Copies of this chain bind each other. A is one copy, B any other.
Amino acid sequence: MVKMEHQKRLFIDDEILSWITDITDDEINEVHKKSLVPFYDQLFLEGHGAYLKDYTGKEFLDCTAQAWTCNIGFANPDVAFAVGEQLKRLTHVRYGFPTIPRIKFIHKLTSITPGNLKKIAVNAMGGGAAIEAALRLAMINKPDAEHFYTFTRGYHGSSLATMTLSTRFAGVTRFRSWGLDKVSKIPFPYCYRCPMGQENEKTCHLECFELAKYMIEYGSVDKGCGILMEPLQAPGGHIPAPKRYLRELQSFTQKNDIFLIFDESQVFTRIGYWFSSDYYDGIIPDITCLTKAVGGGLPMGVTIARDDLIGFNAAEEHTTFGANPLMFASGLVFLNYIEKADLLKNTREQGDYLTSKLKQLQKKYDVIGDIRCPGLFIGVELIKDPETKEPGNALCSDLIEEAMSQGVIFGHSAPISSDSGKLFRNVLKIKPPLIITREDSDHILEVFENSLIEAIDYM
């Protein structure tokens, strides 16, 4: 009988290296014609720690962690070793097959999940798939309902289905997403711009929550299967929901037998805690979803559920690439790295430092409308005028452009647009890898202030 043998290399090292390191100006310029998607001009060659280097040799401290993903650095050497070893053994299996990294990852992650969130589906693809899995799981466990509620300004993915769960990019997206009959939106408790017009916490009686309950009870289309929420809204403006809102919401969903589903894509570890429930003193949803950082920089999505829920059958959850062992190897390194390097503590410390310094700047510059955290999940809302709170959209993009020229990359909130032409894209995000030092933080603050002064000058 024929036997397994290791394959021989077909190419010499240099040939392969040329594919990933050599490029001509012509190749760069010509690709735009061939690409269906727009590319930025900037071409990054390398990243180490919290820094990136581009094609021209310029270096940047990246406060976006590249889509808020590379929390343990851009080319983490432990990740490289783990994935490199897995590459020599097995690069891919079908979805139904367990592998050692997959099993280990599940055990490791369930050791830190809060409460009874002890059942997991992992995928090597990303957050959209994790969110879709959460919706399916809810429908399977509540067969008489299939309607979902999400929040205004929310973001949960870019598939034809998860776009419907997310804020609509009015006037931008030139097609309609699918499943518009499946989703209703309720207002996110965005206190700085209260949808109810409340001006301060004292007069607020959670009118927005009263309204949400009312909409679900009397504006509904079926019993309601689940409410999907970013407990700390990320692309929509870096807005943590008030704790009392979440408390009421949890109690409402329990009483009415509707699943409370969290999307913790951007907050897992970045807020200085593993899960949002640690920040919110134990408000635990029925299902939660992770992605972004959890794969250590490689694609991964995780759906975590209460251990009493029934799971999927093979037809209900499967994908070609969902079980890729490379990603689980990387994810395992990520979980262990956060722990061993005590990065949650560093995140809280650097976050507190940055936030307190930004608050000092706020007193100096009245275009700084609001500063939101926790940890290294920092949003700075810029405004034209403290009276009207008119969004400082141009100010924000000018500041970002200026900082880029000074070697610091800041992030930008997603554009929240409406058909009537209103646009909010005025929250600057500071979300670097969690490994930054105090020195890095000071550098960020310095470039921020310098760039802000420049941007105000353009106004």
Q: In the complex, which of the residues B153, B221, B309, B316 contacts A180, with contact meaning CB atoms closer than 8 Å?
A: B221
Q: Are A44 and B97 in contact (CB under 8 A)?
A: yes
Chain B residue contacts of A238, Cβ below 8 A: none
Q: In the complex, which of the residues B78, B133, B297 contacts A11, with contact meaning CB atoms closer than 8 Å?
A: B78
A114 CB within 8 Å of chain B: no
- CA of A133 to CA of B160, assembled, Å: 9
A45 CB within 8 Å of chain B: yes
With A128-B319, A137-B36 as contacts: A51 and B118 at CB distance below 8 Å: no
With A39-B97, A59-B3 as contacts: A90 and B103 at CB distance below 8 Å: no
With A23-B104, A161-B159 as contacts: A321 and B36 at CB distance below 8 Å: no
Q: Are B187 and A40 in contact (CB under 8 A)?
A: no
- CA of A115 to CA of B178, assembled, Å: 32
- CA of A23 to CA of B135, assembled, Å: 32
Q: Are A97 and B43 in contact (CB under 8 A)?
A: yes
Q: Are A101 and B48 in contact (CB under 8 A)?
A: no
A210 CB within 8 Å of chain B: yes
Q: Give per-residue flags for A147-161: 1 if the beta carbon is below 8 A from chain B beta carbons, else 0.
A: 000001100011111
A261 CB within 8 Å of chain B: no
- Closest CB-CB distance, A22 to chain B, in whole Å? 7
26 A/B residue pairs, CB under 8 Å, sorted by A? A2-B61, A4-B48, A5-B51, A7-B75, A7-B76, A20-B82, A22-B100, A23-B100, A34-B107, A36-B133, A37-B311, A38-B312, A43-B97, A43-B99, A47-B89, A69-B92, A77-B88, A124-B299, A136-B160, A172-B316, A173-B315, A185-B219, A187-B215, A197-B210, A299-B299, A315-B415
